[in-house]
Amino acid sequence: MKARTAGLLGLVTLLLGGCMVGPDYAKPSVPMTPAFKETDGWKPAQPSDHLPRGQWWAIFGDPDLHELEQQVSPANQNLKIAEARLREARAMVRFNRAALFPTISTSFGPSSIRQSGNQPFLTSGGSGGSSGDILLSLDMSYEIDLWGRVRRTVAAARHEAAATAADLETARLSLQAELALDYFELRAADAQQQLLDETVKAFEAALRLTTNRFQGGAAPKSDVAQAQTQLDTTRAQATDVAVQRAQLEHAIATLIGKPPADFNLPPRPLASRPPDIPAGLPSQLLERRPDVAASERRVAEANEQIGIAKAAYYPTVMLNASVGFEGSSFGNLLNASSLLWSVGASITQTIFDGGRRRATSDAARAAYDATVAGYRQTTLSAFQQVEDNLAALRILEQEAQEQRRAVESAQLSLQLFTNRYRGGVDNYLQVITAQTVTLTNQRTEIDILRRRMDASVLLVKALGGGWDVTELATVDK
């Protein structure tokens, strides 16, 4: 008896210990380069440290932008969707982890049965009888995770929850970047509006000049018509800018969770300059992008699915136990003689399934390969986005300097032609041409500044916005 008990305990210990089948996870390699190509000629920030954690927009030094950005996380509805999905993923971790423990249930119920007197095989002259039964039981069932199927299911759920947490940070960063882009677009529209309003006033003065010269007989009627046309065209351009600004203001209101009718942003022309942004190293980028982290966690999840599929080739071991009381009436239900119990184990092994397990295993391996490829592609896209915006900032800075010289030359040209027209040396067509060239160059200068600010925001987004993979805590919930 002692030997049998010891053997049973040893078998239980062996079963409970179990073993994990399937491949151990190894982080896939990705295409890597020692440095970014477009940093040549780029001016790194001093000191060249990481972006500010969390409030990365602080590097732009804009109080209005800072106030708006702080309203995104608590109010944006798309972000609330991502947060709800994270809670769902964490709940699934708890759901799957529950399989590591026994399932215990209880039942209680009286029953009464009357048998038919005409039931088959009833002896001649027999009659149906009746019986009663009262059962109170406590039942336990437990699957021994001998091959690691349950543990790998829990691990897969944890990896998915971690990936979903990274998805939340990706959504947060995307919404914050979208708000910053809309904000700088709106401020650029304010700058365009200010320029056009000032130009309208200048063209009104030019119209008065041509009108006075016409009335004095020093200029033809065509000069007045040309000045009027130039003025009306510029007024139309100024009105058109208001449409774009209104749409951007509505977009910002939606991002911070407000109806557009309840939101107003006072005009203020774009005047800030792009900050110096530390690009860091490509190897650091893998730790600073939440979308890259999410892709890598899903590779780990796909690896667990291979192990789960492999565990299906091995038998399932179940332990079952029950204890309770059964009596014919409430009076004798709890008597010692009414006690019942049972304990047992079962081993189930699939012998033939028509290739279902092999197909499931092949599908898991194919899904893993696809996830690895997706992880590598996400990494390549991250490198591309950084390179694109580094190049844009470097080239646009040079273009801004060239455009500034073009504006100064155009303004000087306009002044000279206007003075020559007043002196009767040139006709008004020269003034009209100089006005058009000057306004075009001034608007282009504002647009270049807008593009530089946009490229700065996109570079911050491409660098992960100050996020770090260490913020992706292990999900144990």
In a domain, 135, yes or no: no
pLDDT of 15 > 90? The answer is no
Distance CA 361, CA 305 (A): 9
Owning domain of residue 213: 28-98+149-314+375-471
How much is the average pLDDT of 118-134? 64
Q: What average pLDDT does the segment 197-213 reach?
A: 94
In this predicted model, what pLDDT tens digit does every residue of 297-335 receive, in sequence order?
Answer: 999 999 999 999 999 999 999 999 999 988 877 778 888
Whether the pLDDT of residue 337 is over 90: the answer is: no
Residue 398 has pLDDT above 80, yes or no: yes
**How many domains is the chain built from?**
1
pLDDT given at position 329: 77
Element containing residue 378 per DSSP (H, E): helix 356-422
Say which residue the tokens 């041409």 belong to. 433
Res. 49 pLDDT band, cuts 50 70 90: very low
Domain membership flag for residue 304: yes
Q: What is the pLDDT of residue 62?
A: 94
Calculate mean pLDDT across residues 126-140: 76
Would you state the pLDDT for residue 36? Answer: 83
Which single residue is written with the structure tokens 């700065």?
456
CATH number, domain of 207, equals 1.20.1600.10
| Within a domain: 429 | yes
Q: On the CB side of 447, how many CA atoms lie within 13 Å of its CA?
A: 9
- pLDDT of 17 higher than 60: no
Q: What is the amino acid identity at position 320? A: N
Q: Where are the alpha helices (DSSP H) in 18-122?
A: 63-69, 72-75, 77-97
pLDDT greater than 60 at residue 377: yes
At 343 the pLDDT is: 93
Provide the 8-state DSSP code for 220. -
Integer CA distances (angstroms), 202 to 148, 207, 208, 315, 470, in order: 80, 9, 10, 88, 57
Q: How confident is the model at residue 8 (pLDDT cuts 50, 70, 90)?
A: low
CB 179 within 8 A of CB 465: no
Residue 415 CB partners (closer than 8 Å, separation 6+): none
- Are 45 and 276 in contact by the 8 Å Cβ rule? The answer is yes
Structure confidence at residue 45 (pLDDT): 42
- What is the model's pLDDT at position 424? 85
Position 47 scores a pLDDT of: 40
210 vs 429: CA distance, rounded Å: 12
Give per-residue pLDDT as tens, 61-116: 999 999 999 999 999 999 999 999 999 999 999 999 999 999 999 998 888 777 76
pLDDT score of 475 more than 70? no
pTM: 0.85
pLDDT of residue 229: 95
How far is CA 309 from its chain centroid?
30
Q: How confident is the model at residue 12 (pLDDT cuts 50, 70, 90)?
A: low
Tell me if residue 118 falls in helix, strand or coil: coil
128: pLDDT confidence band, cut at 50, 70 and 90?
low
Cβ atoms of residues 245 and 186 within 8 Å: yes
For the residues 212-216, what does the mean pLDDT come to?
Answer: 90
The string of pLDDT tens digits covering residues 153-191 is 999 999 999 999 999 999 999 999 999 999 999 999 999
- Tell me the two tokens of residue 359: 């197909």
Instruction: Please state, for a pLDDT cut of 70, what percent of the chain lies above it.
Output: 88
pLDDT at 28: 92
- Residue 277: what pLDDT? 83
Token code pair at residue 36: 């970014």
- 126's CB contacts (< 8 A; 6+ apart) are 117
Residue 130, in any domain of the structure: no
Residue 356 counted as domain residue: no
Identify whether 76 is part of a domain.
yes
Condensed to tens digits (0 to 9), the pLDDT of residues 245-280 reads 999 999 999 999 999 999 999 999 998 889 888 777
Averaged pLDDT for residues 429-434? 93
Q: What is the dihedral of CA 166, 74, 83, 458, to 10 degrees?
A: -30
pLDDT band at 130 (very low <50, low <70, confident <90, very high): low
Q: Does a structural domain hold residue 323? A: no
More confident: 123 or 117: 117
Phi and psi dihedrals of 32, rounded to 5? Answer: -135, 150
Around Cβ 82, how many Cβ atoms within 10 Å? 19
**pLDDT exceeds 70 at position 477:** no
pLDDT reported for residue 285: 84
Calculate the average pLDDT of the chain: 88
At 259, list the tokens.
């109806």
Of the ranges 40-54, 198-212, 278-292, 316-330, which is most confident?
Answer: 198-212
C-beta separation of 322 from 342 below 8 A: yes
Q: Is the model more confident about 32 or about 128?
A: 32
